[in-house]
Structure 1
Amino acid sequence: MVDSNPVPSSSPGFGTPAFPFRKSRPSALPTRTSILPILLPPSTLRPVAFRTFTRKHNLTISSSALQTLAAFVGKHCGSGWREEGLAERVLDEVAKGWKKAGGGVIVDEGKGASLRAILQTLEGNMSGGRVVPGKQTSADEVPGGTTSPGQGSRRSRTETPLSATIAPEGEDLVESPDSTSHPRHWIRVIEAFEIPRLTYNADKKYFEVARSKPTLFPPSSQRTNLFRDRYNIVHQRLLRHESFQLPSRSSGMLQQSSSFSAFSQGYKLTPIANLLGRNGTSHLILGLLSVSPTGDLTVSDLTGSIALDLRHARMVPGDGAWLAPGMFVLVDGIYEEEENIRGSTLGGNAGVGGAIGGVFMGVSICGPPCERRETSLGMNNQQNGREVSSSGGLGWIDFLGVGSERARGPRMRQIEAQYLQDAHGSAKSGRRLRVAVLGEVNLDNMRTFDALRRVFGVYNDLRLEERPSIFVLTGNFVQKAIINSSGQAGSIEYKEYFDALSLTLSDFPTLLQHSTFIFVPGDNDPWSSAFSAGAASSIPRHAIPELFTTRVKRAFATANSQVDPTRSSEPPGEAIWTSNPSRLTLFGPVHDIAIFRDDISSRLRRSAVNLSYGTDDAMGGEDVNAAPKDISPLKFSDRASDQSLQAGTNSYIASSATLFARKLVKSILDQGNLSPFPLSLRPVLWDYVSSLQLYPLPTALILADPEAAPFCITYEDCHVMNPGRLVPDGELPTVRWVEYDVLRNRGKVKQERL
């Protein structure tokens, strides 16, 4: 290549050389500077690591990780790690890479991301002890092996929408334009057996992944750990409540003259073992409500148990929730030693099973207060998900395997916002994300097929943007349990019912092409009903076997074959058969919808404790006519944001169905568990109890209970929906279901005439 300013001559008269020098061009890549490695002790690097990881990124680094980083910095930064600030820049890139990989709050190998993979990627982008910005890594080089959030393991890693980037500070991940083409790419159904098995460590105040392999026959210690873990979660949640926070000295001095000074000082829990020797004193205890072998009520915590006398106790708030054995309760009362109790058999089992002598005379009782989702995750603003609360939280924990709230929540909300906008940046009013929930779809009832045609016909006549993207069909799919005896329906008849369903679905091919159908089984569906005969079987339970679903899947394959795959980027419609319970997520951790099919309201009414004042027996059914007087300062806010519920409460004319729904929702969400019952009443697989946890609260809960009337109620920002029965019994020929708007987080009960 000839120079742009060549030398005119090589004559000696001009003093020019025979071969002119060419102009030097800058190199595209910076030259590598040799670094002399040094031996850097971890204790010397600790102050810089604390300033970078803890103060700047709110991360905690373990000793083993600090030793690994000290060896890496000493090798690649050399003697200039302190004077030139090379170590701080490298550690900052490592911290950002750890967050992008979805790692936890503790930086350590095997804590949600691979520290060695991050350092290996960083090593190829270093020159002269500095990180060269702007170099991208491929999808296969993502630290921690992040997979696609749209379809989980069913999609290859080359389809991953997120690409990890080692970028300068303030630069975010870059999404491909096609990754936000349709929201159904971000739908993921998580079975109960795929949810991460997390246990709460009370010492570290953090959730840890269980290292043991799950099995259907775990050791007997798992039965005790089941309730211990539930207690630790409720206890740490309760201590963060504002009623249990100790006020500052200045605020306490200002409120000394107030009549509510006792309430302003905050409540304090007393362990049950500390009641010994404190006869006649008032205490507040938190424990598990249970029934002793003698038939008496007891309350237990990690230190012991004590007999409970609720003959003079009041519910706070009055008739606000059900309290049954197997639930955790807060009891405010007075402890009486055993020798001071006359004419009573309570407290006679001192020393048996950790029980202490005496009895606890309850004055008021309630469930533990609920905690909002953004409070649990430590987020100040749930809409943008960017502001981090100073109270900490569990935002870095991946509870469902789709990414943590702090690591992926902000970016997923950006993708959701891009979907709601057109090419010019204006909002599209027609774009919605709707879910149609159909409950108790009994396929052995001929009226059910007429109801399904009516529902599908309503949505088939709408525009594509107004149709539901997801249909959720919950069992029981037959009215009687599937067992091959006693003349009842067997497996052959059960398969014929789903073959008839496939014929009904084939009449609406456009719905099959543009929607995702989710089927959730009930207690009468196989194979659990083969040995339970329709009774309450152990949960979680597996999906309906593939033996019965072949015709339905064939109907979807036939409908999708009529669509040109190059016409749009929308994924094909599909039928998903999932477990009970299960989770439905949209846009990663942004929208978390729990699905559970159970007759929980009837079980609560049968086993609830009777708190009627003046009765001698504390066990029995509910008394809705009891006077709801609050004789204790123990009060917690019951914030329900449903408009119809607020209007009824303010005017004191709320219907009985609304009050029943409010009572049911509060009973479940306050416990933070889908099955707050003894194992004898509702069996639970011990190693999969994490799938029943409602902590942190999901954004929505589909509680399919055919024994309760349909409702849609929001409690503590968690929207709870019950579709009821698809075809109500003993009424006019009607069909009922729930239509849920995901973006607005609101549902609506819909009804049509058959």
Structure 2
Amino acid sequence: MATARRPEKPSAVPANPIPSSSPAFGTPVHPINPRRTAPIRAPPALKPAPKTTVLPILLPPATLRPLAFRTFTKKHNLTLTSSALQALAAFVGKHCGSGWREEGLAEKVLEEIAKSWKKCGGQVIVEGENETLRSILKTLEGSMNGGRVVQGSSLSRQSSFNFGPEISARPARPTLDSNTSFGMSSLQVEDKEEDEDLLTDPREWINVIGAFEQPKLIYNVTQKHFEKINSKPSLFPDPSRKTELFRQRYHIVHQRILRNETFQAPTFSTARSATLSRTGSIAISQMNTITPIANLLGRTGSTHLLLGMLTVSATGALSLSDLTGTITLDLQHARPIPENGAYFAPGMIVLVEGSYEEDAGATSSLGGSGGIGGTIGGKFLGFSVGHPPCERRTATLGGAEEIDKNSLAGPAFGWTDFLGLGSQRATGSRMNKIASKLLDEEKAHNVVIASELHLDVPSTLSALRTLLRTYTPDPTDAHPIYPLAIVLMGNFSSKASLAGVPGAGSIEYKEHFDALASVLADFQQLIAHTTLVFVPGDNDAWPSAFSAGAATPLPPQTSNREVWGTGKAKGKEGEVIWTSNPSRLNWFGVKGEMAILRDDVAGRLQRTSIRFNKPEPDVEDEMPYAPSAQQNELEAQDAMDLDLPAAPPTTKTTTR
């Protein structure tokens, strides 16, 4: 029986209803109680912080200079330019106001800016036109409230203004393409202790940097620091790059010499130096002052110390060139320092001490008696020729024994990242801790290097087996020590491959590496715990295709980096790296590195080195005389004192 449905009463709708939020989908409309007029209060945590206004002031850069110097230079080893100081003064005056000094607001802001600059890998010199500094100030401006930095989600003590790439907690091998840092890099880890499981394999900290991956740095003579060039490497560069190469080589050697203590100006006054010179003592400032070649004009007969590159002129004469000019060398009576064991070849930058002799009839290549960049008339009589003094690694980068306590300058380039793996000041202490944690100090950790691995010679594979067997640990050892890396350098073929030589084609070349793989397969545990690095030679593919085994100026590279899964060690596969020649092997960031170069450097230097004349024996008296028996006996005793074989006494007869 059907029941009748009661008609529904229409609901009362207020006069001013709120429209439905979704009328198209029939969302019912609910009236709002008109008695609820109080606004909805937000929870205390969601309340926006009240914005405190600050009255901006005009802060002169000179007034802020002492505080900026104490924060940036004394505390963070950074140098401010005038433009950067002006930008900081404008920022502090605008956002800190009159309380920048009394309330200490400016010091905290400058401290945060300095930390952010180092965090994003800024250079040691802070410039006002730098985009990084502008980004830091722009980001910091949104976090300022009442002249103070608000510690929020965008700003924390651990990661302050992370403008660079995200830094992972896992110590993975850094990618050089994404690293544009000078001081900090992807090798940097957080201040907290790392997980023990991530630091059990030292190979995580072994890096091989090829010729095409190493960052390009140039030395800025004005600012006295290195700058990074972001241009991609090219096999066909502009011809001006060759001139710039030698110019940069001269700048790098020159700035290193000027830091040597024997080339620095004395601390006593000029009058005192002149007095010492008149009394007969040799003034250090006179001996070790480098004279530009262009300054030799008009100073004939004077003694000078020159720094330049040995070159061979168009006429075949040996010359010395620097950034100011070129002069012909006369090394007939020059002595090399040291006498034995050093090569002096064209292309080397050397120190030459001697005297200048001006030729009145000669003219320079630029006209007149000389000119900047031209050939100076006359010649330079060399007395001694030597190489520039070397510099210890601790003096350049700093280290565990950082610097001499008496030295005020500190490391020259402590914040410079030369390889794209982090600088000494940024990651040095951390890398030393990780290295001491992973490496056993009581046992030796080796890097094995084998060169001229001719795979087409049967005896080479037998010798390689003996080498691998030597570095394979005893299976009964509870804590075996494997080599960190095994570097196998070419030539991998005794004949030039891909050069049309019979029996040295691409098929035979691949078969040789198949034989190498069969040898490595017998040492699976060793290969699984170490890194194999292959460096090609002149006979390998592909340089031999156009050089026929001759030395090529292009860095040969066999292939890209691959992984060779010959075995596993706790989840870690064996690894093979195919790199270029030359390349660099680096371990634990800045803790250690070595240059890998396969070339006949000794033979090349022997062919092109300068041969100095042997000194003539000193003759006291050229007149013939008849030595007595007593004089012959004294000469024999002197020879015995020098451990030289003494000749038997002879008697000479003279006829008058």
TM over 0.5: yes
Cα 1:140–1:278, aligned 2, differ >3 Å: closer, same or farther? closer
Task: Kindly report the root-mean-square deviation, in angstroms, between the aligned alpha carbons of the 2 structures.
Answer: 3.9
1:522-560 CA-partner distances (Å, limit 9, x unpaired):
111111111111111014x142136xx98xx5xx31423
- Note if 1:455 corresponds to 2:467: yes
- 2:610 is aligned to 609
Task: Output aligned runs, 1:48-59, within 5 Å.
Answer: 48-59=67-78
The answer as to 2:415 corresponding to 1:396 is: yes
SS at the partner of 1:204? coil
Q: In structure 1, what is the equivalent of residue 518 of structure 2?
A: 503
Corresponding residue for residue 497 of structure 2: 482
How many Å separate the matches in 1 of 2:205 and 2:129?
A: 27
How far is the alpha carbon of 1:330 from its aligned partner? 0.9
Alpha-carbon deviation of 1:277?
Answer: 1.4
Q: 1:153 Cα shift?
A: 2.4
Three-state SS of the structure 2 residue aligned to 1:508 is helix
- Contact 1:101–1:144 under 8 Å retained in 2: yes
Distance 1:66 1:178 in 2: 46
- In structure 2, distance between residues paired with 1:53 and 1:364: 45
Q: Retained in 2: the 8 A contact 1:162–1:173?
A: no
The answer to whether residue 85 in structure 2 is matched with residue 92 in structure 1 is no
Q: What's 2:148 paired with?
A: 130
Contact 2:313 2:319 in 1 (8 A): yes
Distance in 2, Cα, partners of 1:118 & 1:175: 29
Q: Of residues 150, 156, 174 in structure 2, which corresponds to 1:152?
A: 174
Please give the alpha-carbon distance, in whole angstroms, between the structure 2 residues aligned to 1:516 and 1:577.
11
How far apart in 2 are the matches of 1:386 and 1:180?
33
Q: Residue 355 of structure 1 corresponds to which residue in structure 2?
A: 375
* One-letter identity of the residue aligned with 2:581: N
Aligned to 1:543: 557
Matched, 1:559 2:604: no
Query: Residues 448 and 174 of structure 1: is their aligned pair in 2 closer, same or farther, counting only changes over 3 Å?
Result: same
1:417-459 CA-to-partner distances (Å, cap 9, x unmatched) read 3335xxxxxxx55554321111211111111111111111122
Residue 213 of structure 2 aligns with which residue?
194
Matches within 5 A, 1:30-41: 32=49, 34-41=51-58
Aligned to 2:341: 320
Q: Structure 1 residue aligned with 2:317, among 293, 296, 304?
A: 296
Task: State how far apart, in whole Å, the 2-side matches of 1:321 and 1:600 are.
Answer: 13
1:138 Cα deviation from its structure 2 partner: 8.1
Give per-residue Cα distances to partners, 1:650-694, cap 9 Å, x unaligned.
Answer: xx99xxxxxxxxxxxxxxxxxxxxxxxxxxxxxxxxxxxxxxxxx
In structure 2, distance between residues paired with 1:42 and 1:208:
31
1:78-100 deviation line (CA, Å, top 9, x unaligned): 54323211111121122133234
Q: Name the residue aligned to 1:468.
A: 483
Q: Report how far residue 573 of structure 1 moved.
A: 2.2
Helix, strand or coil: the match of 2:471?
Answer: helix
Helix, strand or coil: the match of 2:603? helix
Distance 2:315 2:368 in 1: 9
1:656 paired residue number? none
Aligned pairs for 1:74-85 (under 5 A) are 76-85=95-104
The CA deviation at 1:416 is: 1.9
Q: Which residue identity lines up with residue 190 of structure 1 in the other structure?
A: I
Q: Measure how far apart 1:488 and its partner are.
A: 4.7
Question: Is residue 248 from structure 1 mapped to residue 267 from structure 2 by the alignment?
Answer: yes
Looking at structure 1, the residues matched to 339 and 214 of structure 2 have their Cα atoms a distance apart, in angstroms, of 37
Which residue identity does 1:321 align to in structure 2?
A
User: Structure 1 CA distance, aligned partners of 2:405 and 2:423?
Assistant: 15
SS at match of 1:332: strand
- The answer to whether the aligner puts 1:581 opposite 2:582 as a matched pair is yes
Is the 2:303–2:355 contact (alpha carbons within 8 Å) kept by the matching residues of 1?
yes
Deviation at 1:183, TM superposition (A): 1.9
The change in CA–CA distance for 1:161 and 1:245 in structure 2 (over 3 A counts) is: closer
Q: 2:296 aligns with which of 259, 263, 275?
A: 275
Higher relative contact order (CA 8 A, sep 6+): 1
Aligned positions, number: 557
- Aligned equivalents of 1:156 and 1:232: distance in 2? 29
1:590 match = 591
> Alignment partner for residue 387 of structure 2, among 358, 367, 370?
367
What residue ranges of structure 2 are gaps of 5+ in the alignment? 1-43, 180-184, 619-641, 644-656
- List runs of 5+ in structure 1 lacking aligned partners: 1-26, 165-171, 421-427, 566-570, 615-625, 629-651, 654-754
Contact 2:303-2:354 at 8 Å conserved across structures: yes
For the pair shown, the structure with the greater C-alpha radius of gyration is 2
Q: Report the residue type matching 2:377 in the other structure.
A: G
Q: Structure 2: which amino acid aligns with 1:557? A: G
Distance 1:627 1:116, change over 3 A: farther
The amino acid across from 2:577 in the alignment is I
Percent identical pairs in the alignment equals 48
Secondary structure of residue in 1 paired with 2:103: coil
Q: Deviations over 1:380-407 (max 9, x none)?
A: x544689895224111111110011111
Report if aligned partners of 1:139, 1:163 keep a CA contact under 8 Å in 2: no
AA in 2 matched with 1:576: I
Deviation string, structure 1 residues 99-153 (Cα, Å, up to 9, x no partner) = 3443221124797x94456557767876654346797578897442265664122
| Residue 264 (structure 1) shift | 7.4
Aligned residue identity for 1:153 = T
**What is the deviation of 1:470?**
0.9
Confirm whether residue 419 of structure 1 aligns to residue 434 of structure 2. no
Deviation at 1:321, TM superposition (A): 0.5
CA contact (8 A) 2:56 2:96 kept: no
> Would you say 1:442 and 2:443 are equivalent positions?
no
Change (3 A) 1:146 1:272: farther
How many Å separate the matches in 1 of 2:404 and 2:353? 39
